[in-house]
Chain A
Amino acid sequence: MTENLAANRLQSSGAYALELDGVARHFGALVALSGIDMRIAAGERRAVLGSNGAGKTTLFNAVTGDFLPTAGRIRFFGEDITDLPPHERIRRGLRRTYQISQLFKGLSVLDSIFLACRGVSRRRFSLLRPAAADVNMVQARSILEAVHLDAHRDALVATLSHGQQRQLEIALALAGAPRFILFDEPAAGLSPTERRDLVAILNALPKHIGFIIIEHDLDVALRVADYVSMMHNGRLFKEGTPQEIEADPEVQQIYLGGKHG
């Protein structure tokens, strides 16, 4: 049911996966985001760079509805989702990962991914145990392989290493036919090898799935993105191709030169 609705919407929607008009977020007197205008085409891969406190994660929270924006409108594939609760946005094909892993420590890896698949499907309230052949279980097992966690499928999430938990973060976002994903520093705390795996996973995503990636590691960010947005003090101040951004003197001074962490 959800999938059909999503498909209909895809046909009727415009060319943009995500449109932000004047999105702002204030925490009391603190302006975390102000006047963000952004257009991201369907299937586009965008990197958002900026120092800590630039408002990148706040931007994600506004888009997913974790924290509502105080001003502005957000459209997802042409539909205004500004006032929708988070779960309704997710059911429309939006996904996200978290900078600090947000997982279910008492559940197994496979069950976690199963829940991610079931969350955008039917029978969320089922009082029956899912069969091994359940369509969401089958989906979960294939995602498990895609993120190289099949060896840990029955492990409790609490027992996973940091790197494995980051992989599971991504697995949860890939579940159930996503149309657009927000990756919040997916490479945080990963080893160089794990970073290479991450780049491979992101580049292997189906072409119709667009994403925004917040990432401090430019080796990761500029390798997976088509286009880059720079944020500073809650504002977007520069956009360009990875090459332009890397070469820009102002960018180098604010971000690449004096890296804040």
Chain B
Amino acid sequence: MSLTAATDGAMPQQNWLDKLGAAHILLAVALLLYPLVASDFFLTQIAGYSMIFGVLALSLMLLAGYGGMLSLAQITVAGIAAYAVAILGNNTSNVLGFGWPWWIVVPFAVAAAAVSSALIGWISVRTEGIYTLMITLAIATATFYFAQQNYAIFNGHSGYAGIHAPVFWGIDWRDPKPFYYLCLGLAALSYAAVLYGSRSTFGMTLQAIRDNPRRMRALGYHVTAHKVFAWFLAGILAGLAGVLLVWFNGRVSPGTIGVDVAIDVLVIAVIGGLRHPIGSFLGAIVVILMQTFAIDIVGAERFNTLIGLVFLVIVFVSPDGILGLWGRIKPHFAQESLRAGP
């Protein structure tokens, strides 16, 4: 994991077209043309939903893959953005709902998520490894129960309903095709930002802190501040995912931010692989497909067993997830990308 997250540092200078990569261009064309062949169900319930959870897993990949910080609170951060959309915008639950326009609501919701994430990070960066996981699990659980029991802000266990995606330029952005392109646009933007940022100064400091925090202190870095800033950035991604999620569902309730969902996000990120941002989206597609179709294969009572088994097999065969599997199928490929220097 740690070895490979930074391998693109070894790439020689190329022009922008080469840098973009043939694989990325092919993928972009395929995704742009996908609505021509896909049904509405596959556009939103599968593709759109996968991209939302892909962005959410990406926020975890940023923390865990580059920063070495595991979190179970990403869905909590997304939930804060989702609740903010319900509270600041319109809902039909007759509680709060300030009715602000979407272009004010969205920045506020994402900012609230980012600040909350930074706060969670500030609390948890004193710990490492399994202890970070435990603290973030505690925060996720506490937030879930608080949301369930608080009626003044969170409207208790029923939460908020009747939240609609914006309508502008004559387009209802919750219609299947517009919603698909909205998710695709934000997912692509998030993916490109993380990929670019991984080689930025801050991205390098984060990976260096993951590898050796003590040395980073001895080079003049305020390690805690860098970690908290990483949480802030991850919070922006999780916040974006939360906004899309509440538009997708049309509602938000404590069930949206339950511990089972928190674990789903971790499973997606681990199944996909933490060594490259694309892993988050691969993992999301696999898990969402399984969650959708496992019921048809093994029945409603056993579908979680099947998902668990697939997770076990993938992690057992390849600790690096699907990305690691790819490396095994194409060992030469992996070697090329790992080889460093001239």
CB-contact partner of B218 in A96, A111, A123, under 8 A: A96
Q: A115 vs B209: C-alpha distance in the bound complex, in angstroms?
A: 11
* Interface 1/0 per residue, A83-111 and B, CB below 8 Å: 00111001100011010001111111001
Question: Is there contact, CB below 8 Å, between A154 and B341?
Answer: yes
- The tally of CB-CB contacts under 8 A between chains A and B is 130
Q: A164 vs B264: C-alpha distance in the bound complex, in angstroms?
A: 43
Q: What B residues does A66 contact at CB under 8 A?
A: 214, 217-218
Q: What B residues does A95 contact at CB under 8 A?
A: 218
Question: Is there contact, CB below 8 Å, between A127 and B197?
Answer: yes
Asked if B72 is at the interface of the complex by the 8 Å CB criterion, the answer is no
CB-contact partner of B340 in A104, A129, A156, under 8 A: A156
B40 to chain A, nearest CB (A): 37
Q: What B residues does A107 contact at CB under 8 A?
A: 6, 9, 204, 207-208, 211
Chain B 189-203 interface residues, beta-carbon cutoff 8 Å to A: 196-197, 199-203
Asked if A119 is at the interface of the complex by the 8 Å CB criterion, the answer is yes
Chain B 153-174 interface residues, beta-carbon cutoff 8 Å to A: none
CB-contact partner of A114 in B197, B204, B207, B214, under 8 A: B204
Question: Is there contact, CB below 8 Å, between A118 and B201?
Answer: yes
Question: Is there contact, CB below 8 Å, between B3 and A106?
Answer: yes
Question: Is there contact, CB below 8 Å, between B220 and A87?
Answer: yes
Indicate whether A158 sits within 8 Å of B3 (C-beta atoms), given known contacts A108-B9, A127-B200, A153-B341.
yes
Q: A170 vs B292: C-alpha distance in the bound complex, in angstroms?
A: 55
Q: List 23 A-B contacts (CB under 8 A).
A: A90-B219, A103-B211, A104-B211, A108-B340, A111-B9, A115-B205, A118-B205, A119-B219, A119-B220, A124-B201, A126-B202, A127-B197, A127-B201, A129-B200, A130-B200, A132-B13, A154-B10, A154-B341, A154-B342, A155-B10, A155-B340, A156-B3, A156-B10
Q: What A residues does B13 contact at CB under 8 A?
A: 132
Asked if A230 is at the interface of the complex by the 8 Å CB criterion, the answer is no
Q: What A residues does B205 contact at CB under 8 A?
A: 115, 118, 124-125
A149 to chain B, nearest CB (A): 11
Asked if A116 is at the interface of the complex by the 8 Å CB criterion, the answer is yes
Chain B 320-342 interface residues, beta-carbon cutoff 8 Å to A: 340-342
Q: What A residues does B200 contact at CB under 8 A?
A: 126-130
Apart from A86-B218, A124-B226, A129-B196, 14 more pairs, CB < 8 Å = A87-B219, A91-B220, A102-B212, A102-B214, A103-B211, A103-B212, A104-B215, A107-B207, A115-B208, A125-B226, A127-B202, A132-B13, A152-B341, A154-B342
Q: A205 vs B202: C-alpha distance in the bound complex, in angstroms?
A: 30
Q: A225 vs B74: C-alpha distance in the bound complex, in angstroms?
A: 54
Asked if A120 is at the interface of the complex by the 8 Å CB criterion, the answer is yes
B166 to chain A, nearest CB (A): 28
Q: A228 vs B221: C-alpha distance in the bound complex, in angstroms?
A: 32
Q: A132 vs B2: C-alpha distance in the bound complex, in angstroms?
A: 25
Asked if B222 is at the interface of the complex by the 8 Å CB criterion, the answer is yes
Q: A115 vs B226: C-alpha distance in the bound complex, in angstroms?
A: 13
Q: A175 vs B220: C-alpha distance in the bound complex, in angstroms?
A: 11
Which A-chain residue is minimally distant from B219 (CB atoms)?
A119
Asked if B7 is at the interface of the complex by the 8 Å CB criterion, the answer is yes
Q: A131 vs B309: C-alpha distance in the bound complex, in angstroms?
A: 47
Q: A103 vs B6: C-alpha distance in the bound complex, in angstroms?
A: 14
B54 to chain A, nearest CB (A): 21
- List 8 A-B pairs, minimum CB-CB distance, nearest first: A119-B220, A119-B219, A155-B341, A90-B220, A102-B215, A126-B201, A104-B211, A86-B217
Q: What B residues does A112 contact at CB under 8 A?
A: 208
Q: What A residues does B229 contact at CB under 8 A?
A: 125
B146 to chain A, nearest CB (A): 32
B339 to chain A, nearest CB (A): 9
Asked if A49 is at the interface of the complex by the 8 Å CB criterion, the answer is no
Q: What B residues does A154 contact at CB under 8 A?
A: 9-10, 12, 340-342
Which A-chain residue is minimally distant from B225 (CB atoms)?
A125
> Which among B204, B210, B229 has the greatest number of chain A C-beta atoms within 10 A?
B204
Asked if B294 is at the interface of the complex by the 8 Å CB criterion, the answer is no
Which B-chain residue is minimally distant from A157 (CB atoms)?
B211
Q: A108 vs B207: C-alpha distance in the bound complex, in angstroms?
A: 11
Question: Is there contact, CB below 8 Å, between A90 and B201?
Answer: no
